[in-house]
Amino acid sequence: MRILVLSDIHGNLHALEAVLLAAGDVDAVWNLGDIVGYGAFPNEVIERMRPLADLTVRGNHDRVCCGLSSSQGFNPVASAAAEWTRRHLRSDNMQWLRDLPMGPLRSGDRTMVAHGSPIHEDHYVVTMRDAWSPLQQMPCDITFFGHTHVQGGFSLLEHEWNELRPVFHDRHEAESMTIDVPVGTRHLINPGSVGQPRDMDWRASFAIYDSATETITFCRVPYDVAGAQAAIRAVGLPERLASRLSDGR
């Protein structure tokens, strides 16, 4: 099985279309949440993903935008975006967001999916220290997670701990990097953010998990970032949400 794993689309339809095109034919799609918030196309992105994704877990922005959680704790820009999104969501899409399950969810014999940490959906896994306890406690070999908007992850092989950060060379091209995830190793894998990368690379991020070869491929793909920025400005969302997209942070 070739599985497209994506996260943190954040209403960026331009980035999502580029990712779906670059991923090509896949056997399944796993969506790690934060489908809306920040971008100008919340309805369009939900309607594109609803029939495609075999598994979806909710993100913190999904919860706030559909009214399940308050925006307390969000910075002013994120709050303004959540408020705008809530006003523009169609009622059926709002209900779909409200019904999304909380992670982690088991997705296969070796795998599960979560928005944040597998220990708590809102926890950020940024450092090895954050990864330490989930890597040991999780009931399967691989957890795919998002929330940080940083592609990469952490691995544990017996007593050897590693941080995974794909290294790429040309930010104008599509690039990919494949790692082995053999049985007997444990991995926390972040496919990165489709719609608002924050790892200093503006290209849309995703990952492909191949369960036959036991490999994961980290991918970056250029997209029409000017189009996404123009749409954000046209609907009156905060300027920072447009400018940060081309900086990748």
Give the interface with Zn ion as residue ranges (CB under 5 A): 8, 34
State in angstroms the smallest separation of the CB of 37 from Zn ion.
7
CA geometry: angle 40, 41, 43, nearest 5 deg: 140
State in angstroms the smallest separation of the CB of 204 from Zn ion.
14
State in angstroms the smallest separation of the CB of 60 from Zn ion.
7
State in angstroms the smallest separation of the CB of 184 from Zn ion.
32
Q: Which is nearer to Zn ion, 12 or 107 (CB)?
A: 12
Whole-number Cα distances in Å, 50 to 1, 28, 45, 54, 89: 20, 13, 9, 9, 14
Q: Which is nearer to Zn ion, 7 or 111 (CB)?
A: 7
Q: Which is nearer to Zn ion, 121 or 175 (CB)?
A: 121
CA 186 to CA 138: how far, in whole Å? 9
State in angstroms the smallest separation of the CB of 233 from Zn ion.
21
**What letter represents residue 168's amino acid?**
F
Nearest-CB residue for Zn ion: 34
For the chain, give percent helix, strand, coil, nearest 5: 30, 25, 45
> Contact, 211 vs 23, CB < 8 A?
no
State in angstroms the smallest separation of the CB of 121 from Zn ion.
12
Q: What b/e string do you get for 110-134 counting C-beta neighbours within 10 Å, with b at 16 or more?
A: bbbbbbbbbeebebebeeeebbeeb
Q: Which is nearer to Zn ion, 19 or 179 (CB)?
A: 19
At 106, list the tokens: 């088991």
State in angstroms the smallest separation of the CB of 31 from Zn ion.
12
Q: Which of 32, 37, 199, 33 is nearest to 126 (CA)?
A: 199
Q: Which is nearer to Zn ion, 34 or 175 (CB)?
A: 34
Total Cβ atoms within 10 A of residue 139: 9
At 84, list the tokens: 């705008």
Q: Which is nearer to Zn ion, 81 or 216 (CB)?
A: 81
Q: Which is nearer to Zn ion, 17 or 34 (CB)?
A: 34
